[in-house]
Structure 1
Amino acid sequence: MGLFLLWFFFGIGILIQVIYLLIIFGKTAFYKGNTSTANAHNEEGVTVLVCAHNEYSNLKTLIPKLFEQDYPSFDLMIVNDRSSDRTMRLLEKMMEIYPKLRSVTIKYTPPHVTAKKYALTLGIKVAKNDIILLTDADCLPDSDQWIRKMTAPIRNQHKTFAVGFSGYQKRDTFLNSWIQFETLLTALYYMSFGLWKKPFMAVGRNLCYRKSFFMKVKAFKHLWHIEGGDDDLFVNLYTTGKNTAIVLDPEANTTSIPKETKKEYLVQKKRHLHAGKYYDGADKRKIGLYTLSHALFWLFGIGMLIYTGINQSWEHFSAVFGIILLRTFLVVSIFNAASKKIQGTKPPKSIWILDFLYLGYFWILGTISHQAKDIQWK
């Protein structure tokens, strides 16, 4: 009976994992899309919007880089959110150099709202153009085609939302390998379901939507009390298979500066995972089924190896070990293919080790984040 139960739960884990890896994630890994609409002649105006709190050093690099974009009709809006560094002075100097640079300064945040959403809302309200393209102060576009390609679905396909990928700079550390892995896995969730016409999240470091829609739905009306979620929760509420496009093109990506210490990373991820508790129930299951089956696979797979090894049931032991090896090969293959499609590069080394460590990461940090009450932006 004990061996039967082990096989039963192990089998459920295998079945769901294969469905996710081959069918759902395979939508991204084996993607064959048409990017011709990026070069269509409709060059509607775009406002690139960045919220910045004490980001002097990052803005000094970002602003000139953004004005290298190969797109004729765009302006840049920097929301200077309660900065106490030299941001104001920098913006004044930069506006003399770049006529299409504009800024709005926030001196305080009302007590009933969260800082990032308040900053975003004010920036969008005064934005010159209807197409809003969001990124962060510590992000840089990966090519001079970023604006053109990220906005193409909205300009040329009448979409309301365009969801892109934002990665992190690579470092030769274990923490950075983990960041690369977790970022790629997250992208596989939201890009794959988006390609299956079931979008449910995005990252604010590379997200585009129409100002008119934002104002029509009264912005963050249902989200003011939640710290974070200005990107994924807003998308979770309003995206559909018809009004949303996934932009899967390395030239449409942005890249951020990664956290360098475990403490900084955990603070960031706690904020990100905390927003997940507010997802729609069906969307929670999109992530939950994968993580549950992942846990069933590893826990019962290891349990069976121990059980059959103790009882010297070598046929069962060999079968389980072979299945684990086959799944490991599948995971590595899917992540390699998906990384090339999304980023144009290889994923971090030792994917199989990082995949195993995900077992503890999600359930421990996810539980802590779900219960956290000290979530902050900046």
Structure 2
Amino acid sequence: MGVTRLKKSTAIKNGNGISIVIAANNELENLKHNLPKVLSQEYSTYEVIVVDDRSSDESYEFLLELAKQHKNLKVLTVTDLPDHLNGKKYAITLGIKTAKFDQILLTDADCYPESKNWIGTFANAWGEKISFVVGFSQYKQRPGLLNYFIRFETLVTGIQYLASAALNKPYMGVGRNLSYSKTMFLSKKGFHGYQNLVGGDDDLFVNKHAIGANTQLVIGADALITSYPKTSWSTYFLQKTRHLSVGKHYTAKSKLILSVFSLTWIATWFLFPFLFFDPMNLLVSGSLLVLRIILMGTTILVFLKRTETRLSILGLILLDIMFALYYFVTGIKALLAKRVKWK
């Protein structure tokens, strides 16, 4: 199992220069809270490039003032978006082209590193043949069922893509905690072919160009990024619809594997009630269901330990059922979605 192959990453203080690129659209409060944590990393050589994407708040003015205090902070601004281009992809592309170092480290304005060794863990993972370094990003814990489910869904997704990468079959990453080579990005013409899509700046790029030989993982508290979760079911489902709609553009192999995974999850809980009325089937199916819960709980506990994150599994059965419904609803919405917005 790929989860057992995940190993805690170590950090270095000195190494090759790294360029951090952040695209921000009306993120003033998040920038005030999170950017200082990025700028206070204990790593010798790095720059932070923030691309202000047509913000109408005072983000740009705040960034200019902050840049006076930090010589390694570069501020770019997008005032007009070229036709048929996605705002976030355009902002990221500008940031990468401006970067003076080959190793690009991406995160979002609404995220912050849990450790001052965050950059150091990514720097230590780079090697001569490495073009991608993939990390895990969690959501901040808050009261309520929505938050509990969001953190569970994030955990399951993390288990999927990190375990797959550990088995030398990378298929996605998350832009909140992802690094890749500027040289490779430019040689592949960046986001060419899907630059107009909302989303895909992270997972689609990895899906198209990452292979086992050129991909490394960073795991553990030092490599962790935390983000703020949605606070309403409607905005959460809108966000996930955007994410899942990009999956239509994955490679055929990736789509097949993920489809089998989601369909079996849905089938487990949609078929179980029909077996409840047959005593013979109930015994067999009930035993298999208990075994499934045990295996799932064990896998989650191993992943939590390796990534040094937290999530209570006391509500695992409820979360399991909710996840089947979530897959069903968002899957249909993502297939039917024609266009969703970056902001």
By how many angstroms is 1:54 displaced?
0.7
Count matched residues. 343
By how many angstroms is 1:367 displaced?
1.0
Partner of 2:284: 319
Partner of 1:33: 7
By how many angstroms is 1:316 displaced?
4.1
State yes or no: 1:140 paired with 2:105.
no
* 2:5 maps to amino acid: Y
Once the two structures are superposed, what CA deviation does each residue of 1:225-277 show, in whole Å capped at 9, x if it has no partner? Answer: 21110100011110001001121222101000111111211111111111111
State yes or no: 1:230 paired with 2:195.
no
By how many angstroms is 1:371 displaced?
1.4
Larger Rg: 1
Identity of aligned residues (%): 35
Say which SS state the counterpart of residue 51 (structure 2) adopts: strand
User: What RMSD in Å do the two structures reach over aligned CA positions?
Assistant: 1.6
Partner of 1:289: 260
Instruction: Select 1:190's aligned residue among 155, 161, 166.
Output: 161
Say which SS state the counterpart of residue 76 (structure 2) adopts: strand
Alignment of 1:183-262 (within 5 A): 183-262=154-233
Q: What is the TM-score with the length of structure 1 in the denominator?
A: 0.87
Counterparts of 1:287 and 1:347, CA distance in 2: 25
Counterparts of 1:344 and 1:258, CA distance in 2: 16
Say which SS state the counterpart of residue 179 (structure 2) adopts: strand
By how many angstroms is 1:33 displaced?
2.7
State yes or no: 1:78 paired with 2:78.
no
By how many angstroms is 1:374 displaced?
2.9
Counterparts of 2:125 and 2:35, CA distance in 1: 25
* 2:340 maps to amino acid: I
Classify 1:356/1:288 alpha carbon distance in 2 versus 1 (closer, same or farther; 3 Å): same
Partner of 1:120: 92
Alignment of 1:1-378 (within 5 A): 23=1, 27-28=2-3, 30-31=4-5, 33=7, 35=9, 38-39=11-12, 43-154=15-126, 156=127, 158-306=129-277, 308=278, 313=279, 315-347=280-312, 349-378=314-343
* 1:189 maps to amino acid: Q
* 2:208 maps to amino acid: L
Counterparts of 1:347 and 1:110, CA distance in 2: 46
Classify 1:250/1:286 alpha carbon distance in 2 versus 1 (closer, same or farther; 3 Å): farther
Counterparts of 2:69 and 2:273, CA distance in 1: 62
Counterparts of 1:57 and 1:335, CA distance in 2: 33
Structure 1 regions of 5+ residues with no counterpart? 1-22
Asked if the contact 1:160/1:243 (under 8 Å) is kept, the reply is yes
Counterparts of 2:202 and 2:211, CA distance in 1: 15
